[in-house]
């Protein structure tokens, strides 16, 4: 038998095996070539079939698909911890609105680097950055540079805001611009990163009250013509429906349908305040959801009816949301919180299981962002985004079911190594392409300087 070529062979590993709804771990090896998984199977069979350029010994640890965070605002890493435990408007004025106008290229780059490092350390290999802080020209470029430098798979969801004023605000939004102008920026960035397999784009109209009807329609047309996802905050609070009733004479989801935004490429973020009509429209249009339970709890927004949406077959993914309202980028914590919050909401221990939230963080997350054919599973043909999980730690011993252990007891200490696109970005808990100490030191001093300057204004 002739041996096949591979760039890398991960040997002496374990993968999940499922039987009667419970998971166990079985021996495996994974062959990788061109950033993709070529084959997964028993060590002897896969090992014998390939001549790899390199081998990597997983030392008996568990390989899982990298987690997918479908909603965050990484620039907010610089607002972490500000305005906590204050009423909503005081939190907003003391955190996001305080620092956002001061952001520059260096601040955004460092915030995104720190956020991505935290995400990678906790097993996230793909994240969607809903970048609405476009307070200066080309600020989104700093996000892309950081994605590229740290090695994560990044989706830049370019924020759009085109109203003259937010409701009740006397001043124009600091990040506002006509949609046509923002789309030119998107075009420019897409051509810059064309051919980079780790970088892709979405459109992110902020929220119904930050957009004109024409702007929303234009964004949706562009996204459909260019095969892009449109993602938007939806029904996080009752403000959306109050605004839509006044402006459009109907509820928000119905207004989005009428404007033409509620298409099959729509990723709705939050969906806390749902009524029967919303469930029907989501089902009808195949809407996907990004559920952000930690942020919803921190801001007291409520518990989205995720368990009910799941039973209707609506794809649910998970997001951390920005560090101003989370205050971490840790998807393991989000998985646990998602399961617990549904149990509380429905007073039912079976409302949402570890297995279901793990699926939301992996394969369903991929479907939600239209990357289901590329990521979310360890299977041949998929991109080699793999986390190496070490469950031989005090917090996960004994381990009867690896997914229950990870979701309910897991933490950063269980994420040992991380591959993105077949490349090691963390090995034995150390970054391979980032000088961690240097980035953290620069981020601390830059954030401190911005904060002092904002306070002095």
Instruction: Name the site residues for Zn ion (rule: CB under 5 A).
Output: 321
Q: Tell me the closest approach of the beta carbon of residue 204 to Zn ion, in angstroms.
A: 9
Q: Tell me the closest approach of the beta carbon of residue 231 to Zn ion, in angstroms.
A: 9
In 35-139, alpha helices (H): 43-49, 88-94, 96-99, 105-121
The residue number with the shortest CB distance to Zn ion is 321
CB-based burial, 274-310: b 16+ in 10 Å, e otherwise:
beeebbebbeebebbbbbbbbbbbbbebbbbbbbebb
Locate 279 and state its tokens.
Answer: 């469930």
* Rounded Cα distance, 400 and 402, in Å: 6
* Rounded Cα distance, 457 and 449, in Å: 13
Locate 193 and state its tokens.
Answer: 């990163």
Locate 323 and state its tokens.
Answer: 């560090």
Residue 321 or 421 with smaller CB distance to Zn ion: 321
Residue 337 or 414 with smaller CB distance to Zn ion: 337
In 174-251, alpha helices (H): 179-192, 213-225, 239-248
- Name residue, tokens 């009733």: 245
Residue 12 or 237 with smaller CB distance to Zn ion: 237
- Name residue, tokens 């956020």: 115
Q: Tell me the closest approach of the beta carbon of residue 306 to Zn ion, in angstroms.
A: 17
Residue 202 or 378 with smaller CB distance to Zn ion: 202
Q: Tell me the closest approach of the beta carbon of residue 215 to Zn ion, in angstroms.
A: 19
Q: Tell me the closest approach of the beta carbon of residue 292 to Zn ion, in angstroms.
A: 7
φ, ψ of residue 120 in degrees (nearest 5): -60, -40
Q: Tell me the closest approach of the beta carbon of residue 322 to Zn ion, in angstroms.
A: 6
Q: Tell me the closest approach of the beta carbon of residue 374 to Zn ion, in angstroms.
A: 24
Locate 5 and state its tokens.
Answer: 């070529």
Q: Tell me the closest approach of the beta carbon of residue 291 to Zn ion, in angstroms.
A: 12
Residue 131 or 139 with smaller CB distance to Zn ion: 131
Residue 237 or 409 with smaller CB distance to Zn ion: 237
The radius of gyration computed from the CA coordinates of the chain, to the nearest angstrom, equals 22
Residue 321 or 363 with smaller CB distance to Zn ion: 321
CA atoms within 13 A on the CB side of 119: 38
Residue 321 or 385 with smaller CB distance to Zn ion: 321
- Name residue, tokens 């097993």: 123
Q: How many C-beta atoms surround the C-beta of residue 395 within 10 A?
A: 12
């Amino acid at each position: 038998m002739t041996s096949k070529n591979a760039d890398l062979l991960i040997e002496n590993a374990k993968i999940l095996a499922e039987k009667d709804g419970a998971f166990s771990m079985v021996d495996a090896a994974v062959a990788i070539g061109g950033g993709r998984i070529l084959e997964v199977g028993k060590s002897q069979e896969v090992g014998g079939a390939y001549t790899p350029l390199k081998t990597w010994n997983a030392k008996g640890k568990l390989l899982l698909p990298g987690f997918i965070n479908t909603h965050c605002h990484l620039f907010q890493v610089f607002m972490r911890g500000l305005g906590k435990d204050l009423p909503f408007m005081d939190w907003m004025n003391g955190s996001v609105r305080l620092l956002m106008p001061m952001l520059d290229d260096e601040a955004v780059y460092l915030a995104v680097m720190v956020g991505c490092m935290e995400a990678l350390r906790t097993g996230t290999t793909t994240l969607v950055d809903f970048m609405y802080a476009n307070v200066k020209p080309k600020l989104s470029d700093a996000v892309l540079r950081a994605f590229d430098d740290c090695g994560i798979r990044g989706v830049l969801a370019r924020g759009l805001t085109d109203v003259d004023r937010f409701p009740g605000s006397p001043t124009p939004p600091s990040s506002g611009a006509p949609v046509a102008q923002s789309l030119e920026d998107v075009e420019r960035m897409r051509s810059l990163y064309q051919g980079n397999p780790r970088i892709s784009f979405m459109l992110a109209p902020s929220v119904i009250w930050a957009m004109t009807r024409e702007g929303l329609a234009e964004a949706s047309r562009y996204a459909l013509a260019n095969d892009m996802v449109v993602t938007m905050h939806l029904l996080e609070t009752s403000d959306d429906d109050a605004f839509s009733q006044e402006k459009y004479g109907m509820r928000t989801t119905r207004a989005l349908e009428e404007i033409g935004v509620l298409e099959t490429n729509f990723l709705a973020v939050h969906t806390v305040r749902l009524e029967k009509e919303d469930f029907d429209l989501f089902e009808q249009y195949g809407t996907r959801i990004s559920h952000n339970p930690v942020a919803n709890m921190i801001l007291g927004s409520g518990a989205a009816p995720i368990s009910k949406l799941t039973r209707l077959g609506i794809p649910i993914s998970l997001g951390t949301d920005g560090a101003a309202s989370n205050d971490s980028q840790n998807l393991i914590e989000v998985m646990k919180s998602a399961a617990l919050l549904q149990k509380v909401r429905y007073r039912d221990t079976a409302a949402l299981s570890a297995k279901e939230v793990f699926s939301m963080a992996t394969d369903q997350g991929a479907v939600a962002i239209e990357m289901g054919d590329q990521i979310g599973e360890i299977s041949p043909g998929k991109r080699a985004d793999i986390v190496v999980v070490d469950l031989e730690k005090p917090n996960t011993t004994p381990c009867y079911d690896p997914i229950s252990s990870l979701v309910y007891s897991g933490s950063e200490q269980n994420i040992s190594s991380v591959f993105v696109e077949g490349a090691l970005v963390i090995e034995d808990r150390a970054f391979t392409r980032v000088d961690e100490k240097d980035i953290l030191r620069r981020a601390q001093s830059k954030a401190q300087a911005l904060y002092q300057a904002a306070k002095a204004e």
